[in-house]
Every structure is written in C-alpha cells, then in structure tokens.
Amino acid sequence: MTFKYFLQLLLLSLCPAFALACPPVHNIPDYNCDGALNIVFLGDSLVYGTGDEKNGGSGGYVLRTEARLKDANLYNFGVPGQQTRALLKELDDAFGKNSKNEKMRDALRLADIVVIDEGRNDRWLFGPPIQTYRNIKRARKFVNSKVQRTEGYPPFIITSVLMLPNRGSQGPWVAELNKIILSRSTRKFPSNLRFDKVSKTLLSDDQIHPSSEGYQQLTKKLVRYLKKRGRKYMNKLRPDTDKDNLQDVFEETRFMTDPLLADTDGDGYTDGEELFSLMTDPLSASEMSEEAP
C-alpha cells in the first residue's frame, strides 16, 4: 500500500492532467478527483475488528467493506483501547514536522472519505460525554484543515453514531454520547452513520465487540450509507452542474474547463469523455479534428 501512496502522490504532483478522474467508483464519488476511491478509518478496537472470529480476530467491518468495494482502497487505523485524546495525539504526530506516522499522514492526504468511529473508551476517563464529542470534533477539524492546506481539497469526513455496548455503565454513557453526536450532524460534517442501529444481540461474549455477524451488519450499514446518503451529501458539496463527470470545483481550478458547459471546446465530446476515455485535451477542438479519420 505504501507504493500506492507514493505513486498517486507522484502523479498528482508531476502530471496533474494524467490519470485524474472524477467518475464514481461503486456509485461513490471520487471526491478529490484523483482517479481512485480512498477511504480511511480512524478509531478503536471496533475499527480494528477485535473479536472477528472469521478473520483471525481482526479486520471487522473494514475488511468486509474492502471485499464489497473491490475497486476502492481502504486503510484501517483502528487501535484497540484508543481514547479520543490518543487519537488527537496520533494525528498531531502524523502531520508533525518530523512525522512519526507517515502511513497515516499519506493515507489522509489521499483520502476521499474519512470515517471516525471512536469515543466509547472515554467512558473510563469518567468525564462527561460532551468532552469526548469535543475531542471528536477537534480530530475532524484537524484532518479537514491539514488536508485542505496540503492538498487544496479536504476529504469528506463522517462521524459514526457508535454501536452500543452492553456492559455496566458504559452502555448508558455511550447512549448519551450518541445523542450529542447525532444532534450535531450537518451536511458538511455528517454524524449520522447509524451503527447504533445494529442490535446488541449481535455483540460477542465480552458485550462490547460485535460477533462476526455483528461486523457483517456494520458493513451493510456502512456500504448503504456511502452509496446513498453519503453520496448525496458529497454530490451537493461538490456538484457537477454540467453533468460531464467533472465536479465544478475541479473544472475551475484543475482542468480549466467550463463548469457550466459539458463540452468546453465544442468538439462534440464532453470534457469528462476527453479526459477519462479519449485522453485528449478538452480545451482544444483541433486535437479531435486531427485524430478524426
């Protein structure tokens, strides 16, 4: 996977008009228009996949989603037992001057979508749920600003509503955190990926981690969300007004084509066709006439 990071970064920096594509992958937008669908997961043991018996005790819903979205690149940064303060430190280390986690930094720089699924372990800090939400919000803001600064375009960041544990005081505490998360959801920063709708009957014997069937249900929730609600949000945030498979923002800043005109050079081929299929210049009608028989 490291090779992919360097290859994509090299193409973006050296050949901005090569292999860049906005058409969706699995009906999910290529949000940063780099020709690949990259999804990054940040979180704790449920992201890591602890207790996933069918996959050797790890993998969980991220591994299953990767199997469903075969043409996408998924990166799992789940850390068992992680609390939100540790996530903030991990992100700070990744984007620091002397990065201690280049893999995370590079994955986030290339990400179309970032999923944050964390907070349940903060119960054992015995602080209020609102403090945990503030840390989640800081993590989201940090990723958004850092990627915006380095790449020019931030990823689409989703915060999950946590699957409920069924262990002592942790369950009610997480339920209160979930109410806060859900009430703060916006189109730009949605926090309505409803993992809490997966039944607690699908927890494993430890009453916090899903069984293999529980992870399968989380996968279904995630994939359905990405293809439906998430896709609608992304398309509204980065619209393609002229329906040429180029988001308006990239037409204006990267390709220099007209976001209100599907065929900028008037040669009979849409800007998207020329860039993605014909590999010709959408700004030069003469190029197509020269290639015509």
Residue 23: per-residue pLDDT: 84
Tokens standing for residue 154: 């931030």
Residue 49: per-residue pLDDT: 98
Neighbouring residues of 233: CB distance < 8 A, sequence distance ≥ 6? 156, 187, 190
Residue 21: per-residue pLDDT: 59
Residue 275: per-residue pLDDT: 86
Q: What pTM was computed for the model?
A: 0.89
Residue 203: per-residue pLDDT: 97
Domain 2-10+19-237 classification at class level: alpha beta
193, 221 Cβ separation under 8 angstroms: yes
The burial of 56, by beta-carbon neighbours within 10 Å (0-12 exposed, 13-18 middle, 19 or more buried), is given as: exposed
Residues 263-290, mean pLDDT to the nearest whole number: 83
Higher pLDDT, 254 or 40: 40
pLDDT digits (tens, 9 = 90+) for 203-243: 999 999 999 999 999 999 999 999 999 999 999 999 999 99
Residue range(s) occupied by CATH 3.40.50.1110 in the chain? 2-10+19-237
Residue 208 is given by DSSP the state S
pLDDT digits (tens, 9 = 90+) for 83-106: 999 999 999 999 999 999 999 999
Q: What is the band of 278 on the pLDDT scale with cuts at 50, 70, 90?
A: confident
What whole-number percentage of the chain has pLDDT above 70?
90
pLDDT digits (tens, 9 = 90+) for 155-196: 999 999 999 999 999 999 999 999 999 999 999 999 999 999
Q: What is the band of 272 on the pLDDT scale with cuts at 50, 70, 90?
A: confident
Question: How many Cα atoms occupy the beta-carbon half-sphere of 99 within 13 Å?
Answer: 9
Instruction: Compute the distance between CA of residue 246 and CA of residue 259 in angstroms, rounded to an integer.
Output: 8
Tokens standing for residue 183: 């009430």
